[in-house]
Copies of this chain bind each other. A is one copy, B any other.
């Protein structure tokens, strides 16, 4: 029974710690929402802003690879993506 009690206390502590973190997470989520609201109030387009943030997060070389692959697929379907130079044969 002492054993069980120890586990019980451990469990309770873990649950409490997790829930505390989740409270903080919710607060940060709210903060973020407010900043976006403020941005919008100042005339910025939040959708574009989100894209911008996302792009900044990406490793540039990785981003380029993604672009390249998308171009590849688009070519396969005959969609001209624009400045994808066909003369640069590999």
What residues on B are CB-neighbors of A43 within 8 Å? 7
Q: If A10-B42, A48-B69 touch, does A56 touch B15 (CB 8 Å cutoff)?
A: yes
How many copies of the polypeptide does the oligomer hold? 4
Chain A's interface size range is: 35 or more
Q: Is the CB of B51 within 8 A of A79?
A: no
Residue ID in chain B nearest A73 by CB atoms: B52
Q: Is the CB of A73 within 8 A of B11?
A: yes
The contact sample of 7 A-B pairs, CB cut-off 8 A, is A15-B49, A18-B35, A21-B28, A25-B25, A48-B70, A52-B70, A55-B74
Chain A positions within 8 Å of B, measured between CB atoms, are 1, 4, 7-8, 10-12, 14-15, 17-19, 21-22, 24-25, 28-29, 31-32, 35-36, 38-39, 42-45, 47-49, 51-53, 55-57, 66, 68-70, 72-77, 79, 83, 89-90
